[in-house]
Structure 1
Amino acid sequence: MISSAPIAATPTDAAQRKAFLVGLSIAITGAILFSTKAIVAKLLYRYHIDAVTLITFRMMFALPVFAAVALWQMRHAPPLSVADRWRLVGLGLIGYYLSSFLDFLGLQYITAGLERLILFLTPSFVLLIAATFLKKRVSRVEWLALATSYLGIVLVFLHDLKAGGSNVALGALFVLGAAASYALYLIFSGELVKRIGSTRLVAYAMCVSSAACIAQFFVLRPAAMLVQPMPVYWLSLVNAIFCTIMPVFLTMVAVVRIGAPTASQAGMIGPVSTLFLAALVLGEPITGWQLLGTALVLTGIYLLSTKKA
Structure 2
Amino acid sequence: MSDSTSRLHGLLFGAAGAVLFSAKAILAKFQYAYGPDSLDVLSLRMLFALPLFVVYGVLAARRLPPVRLSRRQWAVLWLIGLLGYYLSSLLDFWGLEYVPVSLERLILFLSPTFVLLIGALWFGRRVSAAQWLALAIGYAGLLLVLRENLRIEGEHVLFGSALILGAALSYALYLVFSGELIERLGTARLVLAAMTISTLAVLAHYLLLRDWSDLWRWPAEVYLWAAANALFCTFLPVTFTMAAVRRMGSGMASQLSIIGPVSLLFLGWWLLDEVITALQLLGTGVVLVAVLLLGRETARRGPATRKDAPATTPEPPRP
Normalising TM by the smaller chain, what interval?
over 0.9
| 2:140 is the alignment partner of 1:151 | yes
Structure 2 match to 1:5: none
Answer with 1 or 2: which has the greater Rg: 1
Structure 1 match to 2:65: 77
TM-score in terms of structure 1 length: 0.92
| 2:221 is the alignment partner of 1:234 | no
Structure 1 match to 2:93: 104
Give the whole-Å Cα distance in 2 for the aligned partners of 1:24 and 1:142. 27
Paired residues for 1:183-222 under 5 Å: 183-222=172-211
Deviation larger for 85-94 or 228-237: 85-94
Deviation per residue, 1:33-76 (Å, 9 max, x gap): 00001111111111111111110000110011122234445554
Structure 2 match to 1:9: none
Deviation per residue, 1:84-109 (Å, 9 max, x gap): 22321111111011000000000000
| 2:53 is the alignment partner of 1:66 | yes
Deviation larger for 80-89 or 193-202: 80-89
Count of matched residue pairs: 296
Structure 1 match to 2:270: 280
Give the whole-Å Cα distance in 1 for the aligned partners of 2:278 and 2:127. 32
User: Which sections of structure 2, spanning at least 5 residues, go unmatched?
Assistant: 300-319
Structure 2 match to 1:268: 258
Give the whole-Å Cα distance in 2 for the aligned partners of 1:141 and 1:22. 33
Structure 1 match to 2:313: none
Give the whole-Å Cα distance in 2 for the aligned partners of 1:180 and 1:54. 21
Query: 1:127 Cα shift?
Result: 0.4
Structure 2 match to 1:7: none
- 1:63–1:206 contact (8 Å) kept in structure 2: yes
Structure 2 match to 1:32: 19
Query: 1:126 Cα shift?
Result: 0.2
Q: Helix, strand or coil: the match of 2:97?
A: coil
Identity %: 47
Residue 142 of structure 2 aligns with an amino acid whose one-letter code is I
Deviation per residue, 1:218-253 (Å, 9 max, x gap): 221122322210100000001100110011111112
Give the whole-Å Cα distance in 2 for the aligned partners of 1:127 and 1:175. 18
Query: 1:179 Cα shift?
Result: 0.2
Instruction: State the superposition RMSD in angstroms.
Output: 1.4
119, 124, 129: which one aligns with 1:135: 124
Deviation per residue, 1:118-143 (Å, 9 max, x gap): 00000010001101111111112211
- 2:61–2:188 contact (8 Å) kept in structure 1: no
Residue 107 of structure 1 aligns with an amino acid whose one-letter code is L
TM-score in terms of structure 2 length: 0.89
